[in-house]
Structure 1
Amino acid sequence: MGPTDEFEAEARRCGYRCVAGLDEAGRGPLAGPVVAAAVILPFRCRIPGLNDSKQIAASERERLCEEILLRAVGVGVGTASGQEIDALNILEATRLAMARAVATLDPSPDFLLIDAVALPLVRLPQRPIIKGDGLSLSIAAASIVAKVTRDRLMADFHRAYPQYNFLAHKGYGTSEHLRLLAEYGPCEIHRRTFRPVQDCLEGKTPVLRR
């Protein structure tokens, strides 16, 4: 069935008028930032094909991202770097990126719908929704903006560090990435607290552990 605006409509029935959906991209990779997006869609917005970014081909995500940016009431993006991920842990870095995304929103939201995560340091009413990117239109829109933004950032990192081929795997722990990590060692954007990168730093063969 795909996402609907039922959660947004419920928040509006409770008196909220500026409802933002939040999601992130990049919690799992071994390199690069985690990127969060916050999107406020207009009332009864319909964007054909809008869904969880993981269910959509890259070319379609790009098209949908442009339409979201065109039609949204507001869009905010926040990131947390690999160094911040190492310092905080990936969950807290994700929360930091989401808080930064909310802070850049104009207009400011009065209610948040968040994919799975609660933001205790953001002083706004909020509702975490498990698998929200497949249930809420505004969270699905945020998932697409976050994913497209992160993919573009990883393309920039590919130009800076072409030996890792970030353009292909976006920093995820593919067999190719592990091989190149073993060959060249970690670069500045690798997450040193993630086990395969730790293995490499300790002189071991990096292996992705699930």
Structure 2
Amino acid sequence: MEKKSIQKLKEEEQTGLLTLANLHELYGDERKGVQQIVKRIRTKEEKKLKLKDKWDRMNGLEEDAKDRGHAYVAGIDEAGRGPIAGPVMAGAVCLPESFVLYGLDDSKKLSERDKDHFYNEIMARADVGVGAASAEEIDEWNIYRATKLAMKRAVLNMRETPDHLLVDAMEVPVPIKQESFVKGDERSVSIAAASVIAKVTRDRFMKEVDKKYPGYNFLKNKGYGTKEHMEAIKEKGITPYHRKSFVPDGIK
């Protein structure tokens, strides 16, 4: 049988006609270009399998909760406990049964592009609640209690009330059965989804704050106490979005 040209094989690779299932036909072809195609396809397919395995593992906490009779399981996470400006934001997410989003992970491990993509997919297909506690509330209640308040608000803003919560290293003050996990955003798909929602929502909020108060570079630092941010406070003073209890006395 006449061998296909390398250009033809590249076209089949690009259109998805070449997969692991029919790759065996090319293993004996010693042409360098063909072996490069084989290597690319194998690498791509192996990456897909790893992502699928990780997705299946991260579904374990949800599956375990459902095996114990819980029908509506939501993951909870927060973003923004450390900055000196801006709210602490929380997300609550219940993913539908058919939901698959390979590559979803703790938001801190994702690129900006991936976070935005995952955010859009989650918002379009899942039951999502978002809650926040303002800088003023953080100053009044302290960051720990304010974070709990933001998480409570996120749960209350969901379309349906969950019957079980999976929470990233916190306890939510709601009368719902819940479990707390250290590094839960690395162990649970719904907590990871909640971390993406909280992070992207907060980053977009700080983008709007940056427009209201230029000069602090909130767009880049997201409210964290960078050297540039501290210098801006010395020069311009604090804004209504700054956490007074977080800004050092020698700065404000």
User: TM-score, with normalisation over the residues of structure 2?
Assistant: 0.76
> How much does 1:76 deviate?
0.2
1:124 partner SS: coil
* AA aligned opposite 1:12: K
* AA aligned opposite 1:49: G
> 1:78·1:99 contact (CA, 8 Å) conserved in 2?
yes
Unaligned 5+ segments in structure 2 are 1-53
* AA aligned opposite 1:38: A
Equivalence for 1:56:
110
> How much does 1:182 deviate?
1.8
Residue 164 of structure 2, aligned match among 111, 118, 126: 111
* AA aligned opposite 1:200: I
Identity of aligned residues (%): 48
2:238 is the alignment partner of 1:186:
yes
Equivalence for 1:20:
74
CA distance in 1, matches of 2:113, 2:99: 22
> 2:230·2:251 contact (CA, 8 Å) conserved in 1?
no
| Deviation sequence 1:168-208 (CA, Å, 0-9, x none) | 11001112111212221211110000142x3323xxxxxxx
Q: Which has a greater percent of helix?
A: 2
CA RMSD of the aligned region, Å?
1.2
* AA aligned opposite 1:113: L
User: Which structure would you say has the larger Rg?
Assistant: 2
* AA aligned opposite 1:124: I
* AA aligned opposite 1:187: T
* AA aligned opposite 1:181: I
> 1:30·1:191 contact (CA, 8 Å) conserved in 2?
yes
User: TM-score, with normalisation over the residues of structure 1?
Assistant: 0.91
Unaligned 5+ segments in structure 1 are 202-210
Question: Runs of 4+ in structure 1 displaced over 3 angstroms?
Answer: none
Equivalence for 1:149:
201
* AA aligned opposite 1:50: L
| Deviation sequence 1:102-136 (CA, Å, 0-9, x none) | 001111100000000012x3100000110001110
2:83 is the alignment partner of 1:32:
no
> 2:73·2:162 contact (CA, 8 Å) conserved in 1?
yes
> How much does 1:52 deviate?
0.3
> 2:133·2:146 contact (CA, 8 Å) conserved in 1?
yes
> How much does 1:44 deviate?
5.3
